[in-house]
Amino acid sequence: MALGVGFGLIMANFEFGKGFISDWIKPFGTIFINSLKLIAIPLILASLIKGISDLKDITKLSRMGGATIAIYMITTLIAVSIGLIVVNVIKPGNSISDETRIELINAYESDADQKRAVAEDTKNSGPLQALIDVVPSNIVSAASDNKNMLQVIFFSILFGIAMILIPEKKSRPIKDFFDSFNDVILKIIDLIMLCAPYGVFALLATLIVEAPKWDLLKSLLLYSLTLVLGLAILIVLYLIIVKIFTRKSPNYFLKGILPAQLVAFSTSSSAATLPVTMDRVHNHLGVKEEVSSFVLPIGATINMDGTALYQAIAAVFIAQTFGLDLSLGAQLGIILTATLASIGAAAVPSAGIIVLVIVLSQAGIPEAGLALIFAVDRPLDMCRTVVNISGDATVSMLVNKFIKKK
C-alpha cells in the first residue's frame, strides 16, 4: 500500500505518468479485484450450503437467522444516528463557497445523472419490489451476476434447509460434494491472496494519479474528515461491543481482522473481500464455521454500517451546502430511509452513491448536490468498506457467542 501511494505520487509529477499507470499498472489491480469477485458466488454457495447442512437442526438455524438479522438492524440504526450527530456538530457544508459548489457540480454533473437514472428505476418500483428481487426466477442466471448475491443466498439457504429435512443417508452424497467444493474454493482464495501485494500496489497507485485537483479537495476536506471521524467512532464502538459481549480484547479483534480490512480498503467491495473476511473470522477470531459461513455472506449483502453512516453525513452535508435547515422530522426520515436503503446496497464499489439518491429524494434535498461529493467518493468508499466488513465480523462474533449460550 505504501509503495503504491509513493509510486503514484512520483508518477503524478510527469506528463506521461498517468498514462503509464493507466496502461501498465491499473490492469493488475483490475485483475486482482476480478479474481476476488470470481469466487464470490461459488464461495457463498459452498459455504452457506455446507454451514446450514452442518447444523442438522432447523431450530438452531432459525435462532441464528433471527439473531443475525436483529443485530444487523440495530448496528445499522446506530451507524446512521452517529453519522447525523457528527455532521450536525461539525457542519462541514457551511465551509463550501458558492464558486466551489458551482465548479464541483459542473465537473461531476454527468456522473451524478447516471446514478440518478439508476436510482429513479428503484424509486419507481413497488413497495414490495425488494422482497420480489430476493427470489430468483432462474438460479443459473442469478449466479451469473454478483449484483444478485441476495438471490444466491436465498437459494443456498433454501437448498441447505432441504438437505436438513431429508434423511441423512440421502443427503450424504451431496453434502460430501459441497464439503469438498468448499475446501477447493478456500484453496483458490489462498492462491489469489499470494498476489494481493501486487494487486494492492496497482490499486493504490491508480487511485493517486486519478485523484481530483487539490483546489477541489481542499473544499471537501472537512466533509471527508467528518465522515472519517464518524467511521472511526463506529470502529471504536465495535471494539467496545466485542470487549463487553465476547470478552475479547480490542487488540485480538484488530489483529484478527486487519488483513481483511486492508483488502477491503484496496478493493472498496465487501463482496470481493468476503473470501478473506470469512477466513480471518473463522481461523483467527474463533468463530465457528457454521456461524461465519451463514452470517458473513448475509452481512456482505445487507449489513452496510459504513455505507449507512455515509448516507446520513452526505445527505446533511449537501443540505448544509445549499443552505437548507433540515427539521428533526426530516432527519428522523433520513435514519429510517438510510437504514432500509443500505440493506439493498450492492456489495460493489460506490454502490452507496446510488442509494444516496433515494435518501436525498426522501428528505427533499436537491439531487444535483450529488455531484458535490463525487470528487472524494472513491477514497471515502475505501474507508467505509473497511467499516462494513468490520461490522460483519463483529456481528459474527456476537452470534457465535449467542449460539454457544443456547
337 phi/psi in degrees, rounded to 5: -65, -45
pLDDT of residue 97: 75
243 phi/psi in degrees, rounded to 5: -65, -45
pLDDT of residue 339: 73
Tens digits of pLDDT across the chain (406 residues): 889 989 999 998 998 999 999 999 999 988 988 887 888 788 888 888 887 888 777 777 888 888 898 999 899 899 999 999 999 999 988 877 777 777 766 766 666 666 666 666 655 667 677 678 889 999 999 999 877 877 888 899 899 989 989 998 999 999 999 989 988 988 888 888 888 889 889 988 888 887 665 655 666 788 999 999 999 999 999 999 999 999 999 999 999 999 999 999 998 888 889 999 999 999 999 999 889 988 998 888 778 899 889 989 998 988 888 778 888 888 888 887 777 666 655 555 555 666 677 678 777 787 667 777 877 788 898 999 999 999 999 999 999 998 877 6
pLDDT of residue 162: 93
pLDDT of residue 166: 92
CA separation for the pair 195, 140 (Å, rounded):
29
> How far, in Å, are 253, 275, 296, 349, 399 from residue 270 at the CA level?
18, 9, 10, 8, 20
- The answer to whether 142 touches 152, Cβ cutoff 8 Å, is yes
Torsion angle defined by CA atoms of residues 153, 158, 159 and 162, in that order, rounded to the nearest 10 degrees: 160
- What CATH number is associated with residue 137? 1.10.3860.10
Quickly tell me which residue has 452442518 as its cell.
54
CA separation for the pair 183, 193 (Å, rounded):
16
Domain that holds residue 92: 2-405
Count of structural domains, the chain:
1
CA separation for the pair 323, 29 (Å, rounded):
40
